[in-house]
Amino acid sequence: EAQVTQNPRYLITVTGKKLTVTCSQNMNHEYMSWYRQDPGLGLRQIYYSMNVEVTDKGDVPEGYKVSRKEKRNFPLILESPSPNQTSLYFCASSLLFLGGSNSPLHFGNGTRLTVT
């Protein structure tokens, strides 16, 4: 089954303790992206990747890192989490990103992160 898999689904951690949220897709998609969803703000892009070893900042990259060493994986790294990073995080992938023409974004089921 074609899917985007995120882990974990739920994570509670403390300020400053490094964590990684994993994302994997089995569709051979070139484009991958991370969004965070906050009440009243909708979804905002954190980072994206056009292909292996090609990543770039989105709208809210501060406090996050990503890597794209393999096509299928795009982990999100919080080196020193803070309470303002408490949010619902979504990974998404697309075959290509050509201005959203015929390559819809496929989303994972989300990771709910709480930083205390």
Partner 1 sequence: GNSVTQMEGPVTLSEEAFLTINCTYTATGYPSLFWYVQYPGEGLQLLLKATKADDKGSNKGFEATYRKETTSFHLEKGSVQVSDSAVYFCALNSGGSNYKLTFGKGTLLTVNP
Kindly tell me the sign of the dihedral angle through the C-alpha atoms of 66, 31, 21, 116: positive
Give dist(CA 56, CA 73) in Å, integer: 15
Among 24, 33, 85, 87, binds partner 1 (CB under 8 A): 33
How many other CB atoms are there within 10 angstroms of residue 113's CB atom?
21
Q: Is 31 within 8 Å of 95 (Cβ atoms)? A: yes
* 2/14 with CB nearer partner 1: 2
By CB under 8 A, is residue 25 in contact with partner 1? no
Among 76, 78, 108, 113, binds partner 1 (CB under 8 A): 108
Instruction: List residues binding partner 1 (CB under 8 A).
Output: 4, 31, 33, 40-45, 48, 50, 56, 58-59, 90, 92, 97-101, 104-105, 107-110
